[in-house]
Amino acid sequence: MMRTRPLKVALLGCGVVGSEVTRIMTTHADDLTQRIGAPVELVGIAVRRPDRVREGVPAELITTDATALVKRDDIDVVVEVIGGIEPARSLITTAFEHGASVVSANKALLAQDGAALHAAAEQHGVDLYYEAAVAGAIPLVRPLRESLAGDKVNRVLGIVNGTTNFILDKMDSSGAGYSEALDEATALGYAEADPTADVEGFDAAAKAAILAGIAFHTRVKLDDVYREGMTEVTAADFASAKQMGCTIKLLAICERAADGRSVTARVHPAMIPLTHPLASVREAYNAVFIEADAAGQLMFYGPGAGGSPTASAVLGDLVAVCRNKVAEATGPGESAYTRLPVSTMGEVVTRYHISLDVADKPGVLAQVATVFAEHGVSIDTVRQQGKDGEASLVVVTHRAADAALSATVEALRKLDTVRGVASIMRVEGE
């Protein structure tokens, strides 16, 4: 039986994503009604700049008083797409206190304060949904929270930032340097005027924290995620990767330890084999690999950002939350029962590609190999090229702990025959 009283929605923010949410709610109102089982009505839109022209957005819905909007007792759902920590956090908790469920795209806030927000939602008997916070239109949160709820997820490995993937893809395909590829990304609108959040890995780290928490049923905060940007990746690194049959991607990697007693979450550039599906993810697309005991390997691929893709995820959450309102129920909340510790990066075990500048004379390779052996790091392959008294030495290791590799590199720097460490990069995806 169709409910006749409309569910009332308040929207916080009306930029690229908010405007698209408004458009879809207006043009697909009849379809949304049928899917939800009740009419849905947008009754207010809070913005900071009310005089800004917003095509297709009803002027009578615009307000600058976001607090008053979320305090309205007739609001059923608040959609938050303003981003940042404050005032988003205060507005969301106020919405909970007044009985409204919340749909958010705010990865930074959820990575920092997700546990407190989940607790507040549970306290007031409402929902907190955030599919759009992780990978735009790509469904990841709901499959992890619901579809794989009966399985054991062991690893989440993926490309979760379109800007960095575009830059690295251009460096790989055209031989461009980092600065040149960044300029192209900026000109095409993929990179912000200040790209720091993307290229230094902050954006991907927030998403990794959210994914790790859901996948492993434990609390992982942004501070728990090891983060390394991709600004130091060079054309020479790509040349080395190609010689190994690899390419380079900025990866978010969340893993459960082999003994099941801890988890890790990290973001950094890595070489991956060209045979791995993630190697073929081009331009500004995102893709995430999930490895689970029963399901095996699953891959989710698609546009990870942009107004329409992100709005699609927001509307998907809005439909789910509104259905729960009609049924007078709530969906799944936080699952953190495992309470697993988050290991440090020093405990992470992986392969490494190390490029050294060395003196071109007899005995250098033996000295380098001895240092690796003394620190318990096994060498897989070595490649040496020399000219005019100088040489480059490329060492690829077997799997080793990050702490052991770091100690090895520090010892190598002390050798008279080692002029410098040109690059160090992890090798993943095997």
Q: pLDDT tens digits, residue range 322-377?
A: 999 999 999 999 999 999 999 999 999 999 999 999 998 889 999 999 999 999 99
pLDDT band at 189; cut points 50, 70, 90: confident
Burial class (CB in 10 A: 0-12, 13-18, 19+), 333: middle
pLDDT, averaged across the chain: 94
pLDDT band at 1; cut points 50, 70, 90: low
The mean per-residue pLDDT over the stretch 44-67 comes to 92
The predicted structure's pLDDT at residue 8: 98
Cis status, amide bond into 273, omega within 30 of 0: no
The predicted structure's pLDDT at residue 388: 65
The predicted structure's pLDDT at residue 385: 76
What whole-number distance in Å separates Cα of residue 206 and Cα of residue 110?
8
The predicted structure's pLDDT at residue 429: 83
pTM above 0.75, yes or no: yes
Catalytically annotated residues: 207
The values of phi and psi at residue 28, to 5°, are: -115, 30
User: Which residues lie closer than 8 Å to 277 by C-beta, 6 or more apart?
Assistant: 287, 289, 299
Is 90 exceeded by the pLDDT of residue 384? Answer: no
Is 70 exceeded by the pLDDT of residue 387? Answer: no
Share of the chain above pLDDT 70, in %: 98
What whole-number distance in Å separates Cα of residue 259 and Cα of residue 244?
31
Q: What does R_g of the chain's alpha carbons equal in angstroms?
A: 24
Is 70 exceeded by the pLDDT of residue 294? Answer: yes
pLDDT band at 194; cut points 50, 70, 90: very high
Residues 134, 136, 139, 143, Cα dihedral to 10°? 10
The mean per-residue pLDDT over the stretch 148-158 comes to 97
The predicted structure's pLDDT at residue 181: 96
306 contacts 276 by C-beta, under 8 angstroms? no
The predicted structure's pLDDT at residue 332: 93
The predicted structure's pLDDT at residue 276: 95
The mean per-residue pLDDT over the stretch 255-259 comes to 94
272 contacts 249 by C-beta, under 8 angstroms? yes
Long-range contacts of 205-208 (CB under 8 A, 24+ apart): 205/111, 205/252, 205/265, 205/267, 206/107, 206/108, 206/110, 206/111, 206/112, 207/107, 207/111, 207/133, 207/134, 207/135, 207/160, 207/161, 207/252, 208/160, 208/252, 208/253, 208/254, 208/265, 208/266, 208/267
The mean per-residue pLDDT over the stretch 386-394 comes to 77
The predicted structure's pLDDT at residue 264: 97
The predicted structure's pLDDT at residue 10: 98
Share of the chain above pLDDT 90, in %: 89
Is 80 exceeded by the pLDDT of residue 4? Answer: no
Bridge-based pairing of strands 77-80 and 101-104 is parallel
